[in-house]
Structure 1
């Protein structure tokens, strides 16, 4: 058996599979975030360890036959440990944008983009640590290790400070083409290589489960823990998106368009992420929008309604209406790289009802994903097949809108979990058995959402209006 642990923003998922990758058991332990100020999003790392214990206990099965563990987790978080391995402060999460000024200053130095292949986004790890350096110097002076969230979980499990390439690529300190830390960029941050975790590939052994933690969790001591992957790279492993032309769209808290690439394809001017994949000698491009289901959940909260109820009565896909929603509730990454922009409705009218507002929110997120799709196409990245995952993929209306906007069929996996937790379990299996990419196969497809031919042009025209509106919203600070 193999155990996948997926550290998400709202919960930690444990997934147990057998040698044939049949799911034996799964369990989720909830997590909360703290937002003490506008743009701040934090979690206490110690809550992750409690959630891990609870999620594994929730599996409710004998774990004596587990052979390996794989890890997945939300990226970019700045987890700062002292020399005793104790967190110095709450972890600043991927959607924390307080370090916008620090990110802009770094990005103005051409070396950052040249080495990492990416814009220095406010949500990345390096500008957050720079914020600590400028605003909490006593804490900065005590930093012994800077770890990403899943790697802090690994440290608790194994005692080893290790990361892997896909997650490390989102720090702004990795030489993404060389798959190694950049000493020059670390020096600019006032850090040294000794304060960083060592690096392995996601399918390699990163350490072994310590005896004390094994006894606490009911697992065999000494089993290997794989390098694992950042949440989206691990999800790609779970969905078999490991060859050029394969891609997935994820409608979760954030929205992601992820495409495997045959080599390192840096395009920082597009605000696409160009990262290492979780397998050796593979890379990927990724467009990220910060508020996907977050936008729908926000509207549901305002209307005092359940999000699923809002979308369940929309019927067949309609041409986009006059009302436009800009889904920039907490800033945006691709393609705007703007931490300060905020969302808004435009062209509201007396006849704009709940259904019209719901459609506008779904369309706004769709247009934002179209921005990433167009950016990839302009850099030469070609997508042949597209799989949908995430909570938002339960809405046929939303998927129909995306398929129509991109003019591309969207595949829906058969019932099962093919996301980060399965990808982590697969990486754990690779590390424990020596298996390779051949086990990262796509899931069985239950059905395909086709574009609606008559609405392709109306969606394209609506996207153009949406793009024209960005400059107006940008100035509404």
Structure 2
């Protein structure tokens, strides 16, 4: 049997076809537009997600007998606000995870309602990307549109709704809405009241590996699929990627270097970072996790290569970097503001430490190291919450760089495991569909059967010592520049 994982990303939807033994049969990607109608805003048309998903499905399943496809699961960009009216029409373009328009709403929630109160309701404080502040923004700035809302959902859940008719979400993705009581896995009546919405506007909650329905017969017929193709609830992109790297169970870690960057630490029980620098979310395996999120990770290197150096020779640029742990140039990777641990949408990128002898390679190195140092910032927040790590899996586009792997291993002083097959949220989505279809009894069982480690990058004591000194300098930079960012 075959299973499909749909990774609904920010720039494209990536579809993966996998056998139940984990062998990948095909991968297809379809891009769509990202709109920036005002500085700091980020929007997309949900209809584009659906249209491009159907387009990709046609090519994806062309390599197998469509009747052998048994399930579909999702991993998707988190936090986006998708609002539908009584006729299931999209009311306005989806407001995405990296949209920064909600500064006033975040301030209202964290300062007037109070961080302690909001965290008590949900396990988290408000961040600019979360869904609840966007609902408040829409209520204040688009009252006529807000009055038409009958359904509120997240991006991947819009796909599930269009494909199955099930108005659903999963606990991992819902955790990032700031509407879920994460500890008790139910909608927070207090947060709903604050946002001026009712529970019947919100989807039914499921575990990520649970079946929410079946592919609509008319869609199944159009692709020559059978009528009992299971639709799994799926997960937020980071939880789905964690499943795809086998980061399930207790005390496991996954570092992601995608458009954004995350450190994802699993736990058997719900716990909150007392400083709220990390997110306390539900995990796709039915348990919980702490997660730090930086808004710009591999996207920093893409910006540097594409926009500044005007080159697509990523590998060649990194080959010019010969000496690690001694670079005197620093880069602050806050190109879209920053979430963990600073929660500062006004933060911006910066180079510091250049002189007349600074080379192109040193600045490229600073970009890569800046992302790694910011990952260390998130790890330090986790350590302050009592987390101790010896190793981590790694995934995302940036994780394909051996140089970046080495930097992460030595700056965090942990072993970095590289998975044999790294297909991110799409792979995790397909694995969740297998569990929903009862091919595996649990997410852990599926991960044990499918995920393996290709190689490990070990920290080197001398390099760890050099990078420790560099990191202690790096960690002073944001606090020094914080007031300047506010003025800018």
Give the TM bin, normalised by the shorter chain. over 0.9
Using the alignment, how far apart are the partners of 2:143 and 2:337 within structure 1? Answer: 27
Cα separation, 1, equivalents of 2:298 and 2:15: 22
Q: Say which of 90, 95, 103 aligns to 1:87.
A: 90
Which residue, out of 428, 442, 446, partners 1:439?
446
Deviates more, 1:169-178 or 1:265-274: 265-274
- Give the TM-score taking structure 1 as reference length: 0.96
What's the C-alpha RMSD, in Å, of the aligned pairs? 1.5
2:61 aligned with 1:35, yes or no? no
Structure 2 gap segments, 5+ residues each: none
Which residue of 439, 461, 468 maps to 2:469? 461
- C-alpha distance in structure 2 between counterparts of 1:404 and 1:267, whole Å: 25
* 1:364-385 Cα shifts (integer Å, max 9, x gaps): 1011000111111110123243
Listed as ranges, the gaps of 5+ residues in structure 1 are none
Q: Does 1:96 align with 2:104?
A: no
Shift of 1:472: 2.9
Query: Contact 1:158–1:207 at 8 Å: present in 2 too?
Result: yes
Q: Which residue of 230, 236, 244 maps to 1:230?
A: 236
Structure 1 residues 227 and 153: CA distance shift in structure 2, 3 A = same
Deviation digits for residues 89-111 of structure 1 (CA, Å, limit 9, x no counterpart): 11111111111210121122232
Q: Residue by residue, what CA displacement relative to the aligned partner does 1:28-65 show, whole Å, maximum 9, x if unpaired?
A: 11123111222111111011011101211121233211
Contact 1:317 1:400 in 2 (8 A): no
Give the aligned partner of residue 333 of structure 1: 339
TM-score (norm 2): 0.94
Match of 1:417 among 403, 418, 422: 422
Question: Residue 399 of structure 2 aligns with which residue?
Answer: 393
Q: Name the counterpart of 1:13.
A: 14
For 1:373, the equivalent position in structure 2 comes to 379
1:164-243 matches, cutoff 5 A: 164-243=170-249
Which 4+ residue blocks in structure 1 deviate beyond 6 angstroms? none
C-alpha contact (below 8 Å) 1:118/1:268 kept by paired residues: no
Cross-structure match for 1:358: 364
Cα distance 1:317–1:65, how it changes in 2: closer, same or farther (>3 A)? farther
Give a deviation string over 1:413-457, Cα, whole Å, max 9, x none: 12x334211111111111112621311227222211121321212
Distance 1:458 1:307 in 2: 28
- Report whether the alignment pairs 1:74 with 2:77: yes
The answer to which of 438-447 and 221-230 deviates more is 438-447
Residue aligning to 1:295: 300
The aligned residue for residue 54 of structure 1 is: 55
Q: Is the 8 A contact 1:118 1:172 kept in 2?
A: yes
